[in-house]
Structure 1
Amino acid sequence: MEKLLLLGQTLAFTADPFANGPDAAPEAARYDSRGGVLVEGGRIIAVAGAEALRAEHPDAQIADHGQGLILPGFVDAHMHYPQTGIVASWGKRLIDWLNGYTFPEEMRFDNPAYASDVAATTLDLALANGTTTLTSYCTIHPASVDAFFAAAAARGMRVAGGRTCMDRETAPDGLRDTAQSAYDESKALIARWHGRGRATYAITPRFSPTSTEAQLEALGALWAEHPDCLMQTHLAEQTDEIEWVMGMYPGAEDYLATYEAHGLIGERAIFGHAIHLTERETARLVETGAGIAHCPTSNTFIGSGLFDLPGLRAAGARIGLATDTGGGSSFSMLRTMAAAYEIAQLRGTALHPAQLLWLATEGSARLLHQPGIGRLVEGAEADLVVLDLASTPAISQRARRAEDIWEAVFPTIMMGDDRAVSATYVAGQKVKG
C-alpha cells in the first residue's frame, strides 16, 4: 500500500485538557511547528517531525500543507440530517419549530430519492467544513436510514445514526409509528447496517413527549439485546419542554427518569442538550457514564438556554460538541466551538482553545465510543482536517500577532468557516482541498 506523508503544523492531545482547568490546558497537547502525519491503509502509522519522517520514509507520497494546522477530523455528536433543508429557519420555540418546520420536512423522507439527495448534500457540507464523523437522527422511514448510511459508505465516512421513533399523538399523521413497528424496523436496520463498514447504529426515540411508555419500553428492550449500539435522544432542552414532559409523566421524578424507567440510560447513551438538569439528573448521568452532546448554536438560535459546560465537566460528566443542524444554525464545528466559548463566558469561564478543539474531536469521539477517531496518534483512523490559520484578511491580520499556536488558532475558531478548511481526509483519502 502506498504511504502518504502530510506535512504542516501538527497538534495532538496527550491528555484531557479539562482535567486541570483552563490554565493547564496547553499541557495536554503536543505541538510541532513543522510536523508530519504518515498514513497507510487508511490509518495513521506515525506522527513525528517532518524531516525525520521524510528521512525514514523516502518512498512516501508527499502532501505538503505548508503552515496548515493538521488535526483529527471534527466529530459532530448530534445532528439531524433530514433538517438540512430547513436550517436557519426564522424564529420559534422548540415545540413550534418542530410543528412548523421539522415535521413537515421530515414527511418528505418517505421518498427514497429525496432522502438520498439530502443525505448526500448533508455529508458533503460536513466534509467541506472538516467534519469527518457525525451522529444523526433520521426519520421514521427506514429508507431515510438506508440513504444516510449508504451516502456515508460511498464517502468512506464513519458515522452513527438511526430511525427516529415516535408513536404518541403529539407526532403528526405520517410521522407516527407504533411501539411494535419501532422495535421491528429498528431491529431490521441494526441487522442491515450496524458494524457494516464504518457504520454504527443508534437506537433513537426522538424524546419522551413523542414516545409512549410502551415504545420506550420496547426500545429499551431492543438496546438490551444490542448493547453495543448507541442510544440517542433529547433531554431538558427547554423549560417549557420539561413542563410538557412532566405533564405527560406525572409519576416521574424528573425528565431523565422517563428514560431510566425503561432502561434507556447507560454509557452508550447520548443525550442531546441537557441544559436544565436537576441535581439528581446530573448525578445519574455522571454515575452511569452517559454522554451529553452540547449544541451551542442551537441553544442560542432557538432560545433554549445556557448549557453549564464548566459545571458539568467539574461534576465529571462526559461531554462532546455538536451542531444540532438544523436547529443549530451552522454546519461548521468551528462556529460551534465559537458558540461554546461564548456560552461558557456567560457562565463565567473562558474556555481555552485546547479545550474547544478537544471537545470537537476526541471529546465527541468518546461519546461515540470510537477511540480510533478524533485523535492524532499512531494506529488511529486517518480522518483528518487541515486548517488554514490565515483564511480571511481579518483572521490573517490577527494571527500574524500570535506569540504561540493557541493565539494563532483562536481567531480561526472564533471567526473561521469552511474557507478555513484547506483540506479534509477520510481514511487517508483527500475529499476536499
Structure 2
Amino acid sequence: MTDTISVVRKAAWVVAWDEAAAQHIYMQDADVAFSKAGILYVGPSYQGHADAEIAGAAIMVMPGLVNIHCHSGDEPLAKGLFEDVGTAALWGNALYEYSALIDADEDAKAACQTVMLGDLMRSGVTTHLDIASPAPKWLSLAANSGLRSYLAPGFREAQWRMAGSHRLDFEWNLAQGRERYAEALAFVEQARAHPSGRIDGVIAPSQIETCSEELIQEAVAEARSRGMRITIHAAQTMAEHEELLRRTGETAPAMLDRLGVLGPDLILGHCIFLDHHSWTRQRSRDDLARLAKSGTSVAHCPVTFARSGMTLESLGAYRRAGVNVGIGTDSYPFNMLEEMREALICSRVSGRSVFDLDTGGLFSAATIGGAQALGRSDIGRLVAGSKADLALVDLSHPAMQPIHDPLRNLIHCAAERAIRDVYVDGQAVVKDHRAVNLDYDGAIRELQDAQKRACRRAEMDDPQGRPLSTLAPYSLPLARRG
C-alpha cells in the first residue's frame, strides 16, 4: 500500500522550525506536505506529488503539543467535587484528604481514559505521558486513539493516611511495593513492544516520599539499563517538602542528587517547592542549579495547583536558570491550551512581571521542552524529517479574530475551540473538532454514574465518616423542594 501524501496549500500561517537558529518561526502563505513517513516539506510552493490537498487560506499549521504529565485513572471523576476545599493544616492542598478518596472502579477506568485522551487531542496534543495504575484497556485504548503515548505504571511502597484533618501519615508495605514494581517492569516492556510504534513505557516511582531510597535507586538504574525515561513526583507539595526535611534534611532535588538519580532522562513532576520558593524555610538557592547542571526536566502543571492557591515561582525563572521545562495537564480539564494560558499567567504573577515569560517561550516549553524531556528531536517541531504530528487551527473562528499574532489569539483567547484537525504520524486523530478513533460521547455518558459510584465509596472510605455534602459542598445553597 502506497503512502498517502497530504499537502496544506498556502497556509496563512505556519509555525515552522528553524534548524539553524534552533527555534520556532512564523511562515506565511507556506505549504506543508506530510505523510506517514513524516514531514516532507515546509516552505513556499511544494512541487512534489500530492494525493490530498487542504486549503490553507484560513489555517494555521502548528506542531502537535507534547504533554509530559497527566493522569487518566480517576481524575475525570473528580470534576466539580473538590475545587473549593483543602486541608488547612497542609497548606490548603486537597490532594491527601480529598482527592485521594476518589477511585474509579474497573468499569469506569476506560471511560476516564477515553475522556482524557479525547480532551487532550482536541486541544492539540499529539504526544502524552500518562501516569496511572494499569487497567485492562489502558494499553489498547492508548494505541487505538492514534496518539503518541508514553505509559508510566506508578508504584510505591507507602500509602498516604490522614489523621483527622491535621496530620499526614505514611503506611508502609515494602513487599507490596516490590510486587507493584515488578508488575510495572512487565507492563513497560509490553508497551514498548506494541506494533504501532507509537507506544513506549516509562519507569515511575510514584512519589518521592512514598518510595524508599533503595527502590528509587534500583528503579532508576533499571530504567537506564533499558534506555527508558523515568518520572517521579517530587517537590509537588509543602507536606512532601517538610516530610523530606524531617527524614533527610534535604529538598527533593538535593536528595535525588545525593542518590545519583538526577539526569537528562528524568522528568520531575511539578517540582514547585524548591529551596528558593517563598513558602519554604530554606534561604538557599541551589536547587535550580542542580536541575540545570544535571539536565533534569520539570513537568509543569499549573492548573490543579493554582486551584489550591499555589504556584511554581516562576516558569520564566526556571527557564532562565537553564532548566528544561515541559508542560503537562496533570488532572482535569485535560486542556493543554488552557494549561498553557494558566502557566503564562501564573508565571507573570509569581515573577511579578509581564516580562517573566512570553508567548513564544511558553509555546517552546509545550513543544520542544516536552520533546527534549522525552529524548526526542523528531516531535514538537515542523521541519522536514520530523514526525508528521501537527494541528490545524481554524483562523476563521470568532475567537481567533482579528489576527495580528495567531499563537497569542490561540493561547490567550480561543484555546481548543479553534483546533480543527489533529494528525499523528500523518493520520487524522481529530477531524472537524471530533476524535476520530474514540467513542468520546459514550464515555462522557458513562462518567455521571461512575462519579456517583465513586462518591458513595468516598463516603464509606473517609476516615472521619463525613457525608458528601460535607466533603464536597455545593457552590450555592440548595433550595428546598416544594
Asked whether the 8 Å contact 1:12–1:31 carries over to 2, the reply is yes
* Residues 15 and 300 (structure 1), Cα distance of their counterparts in 2 relative to 1, 3 Å cut: farther
TM-score by length of 2: 0.76
Q: How many angstroms does 1:268 deviate by?
A: 0.8
Following superposition, the deviation at residue 370 of structure 1 comes to: 1.7
Q: 2: distance between equivalents of 1:174 and 1:240? A: 17
User: What TM-score do the two structures reach when normalised by structure 1?
Assistant: 0.84
Q: What is the CA distance between 1:45 and its match in structure 2?
A: 1.0
Specify the SS of the correspondent of 2:274. coil
- Alignment equivalent of 1:70, drawn from 57, 61, 65: 61
- Which of 304, 323, 333 is 1:317 aligned to? 323
- Quick one: which of 360, 365, 370 aligns to 2:366? 360
Contact 1:208 1:258 in 2 (8 A): no
1:376 aligns with 2:382: yes
Superposed CA offset, 1:2-53 (max 9, x none): 2111232211132699x9xxxxxxxx4432221121112241111112xx21
Structure 1 residues 372 and 344, CA gap change in structure 2 (3 angstroms): same
Secondary structure of 1:338's counterpart equals: helix
Out of 140, 148, 154, the residue aligned to residue 150 of structure 1 is 140
- Distance in 1 (CA, whole Å) between partners of 2:79 and 2:317 is 30
Aligned to 1:13: 17
Q: What do you get for the CA RMSD once the two structures are aligned?
A: 2.7
Aligned runs of 1:16-415 on 2, under 5 Å?
A: 28-49=23-44, 52-53=45-46, 56-82=47-73, 83-87=75-79, 89-93=82-86, 97-106=94-103, 108=104, 111=106, 113-139=107-133, 142=134, 144=135, 147-170=137-160, 178-194=176-192, 196=194, 197-226=197-226, 228-247=227-246, 249=247, 251-278=248-275, 279-326=285-332, 330-346=333-349, 347=351, 348-350=353-355, 351-392=357-398, 394-396=399-401, 399-400=402-403, 402=404, 406=405, 408-415=406-413
Structure number with bigger Rg? 2
Note the C-alpha offset of 1:128.
1.4
What does residue 24 of structure 1 align with? none
**CA–CA distance in structure 2, aligned partners of residues 117 and 29 of structure 1:** 36
Partner Cα distance (2:344, 2:419) in 1: 20
CA positional deviation for 1:154 = 1.1
Q: 1:59 to 1:423 in 2, by over 3 A?
A: closer
Which has the larger helix fraction?
Answer: 1
Q: Determine if the alignment matches structure 1 residue 416 to structure 2 residue 418.
A: no
Which residue type is aligned with residue 336 of structure 1? E
Aligned to 1:178, the other structure's residue is in SS state helix
- 2: distance between equivalents of 1:86 and 1:42? 40
Cα separation, partners in 2 of 1:371 and 1:161, compared to 1, 3 Å = same
- CA distance 1:91–1:195, shift in 2 (3 Å): farther
Q: Which blocks of at least 5 consecutive residues in structure 1 are unaligned?
A: 20-27
Q: What displacement does 1:214 show?
A: 4.0
Query: What percentage of aligned pairs have identical amino acids?
Result: 24
* Structure 1 position 239, deviation (Å): 2.7
Asked if the contact 1:165/1:177 (under 8 Å) is kept, the reply is no
Deviates more, 1:206-215 or 1:377-386: 206-215
Distance in 1 between residues matched to 2:173 and 2:394, nearest whole Å? 43
Report what 1:23 is aligned to. Answer: none
How far apart, CA to CA, are the structure 2 residues paired with 1:381 and 1:310? 28
**8 Å contact 2:302–2:339 — kept in the other structure?**
yes
CA, structure 1 residues 65+148, in 2 after alignment: closer, same or farther (shift >3 Å)?
A: farther
- CA contact 1:221–1:263 (8 Å) conserved in 2: no
Amino acid at match of 1:131: V
Sort the Cα spacing of 1:422 and 1:169 in 2 relative to 1 into closer, same or farther, 3 A.
closer
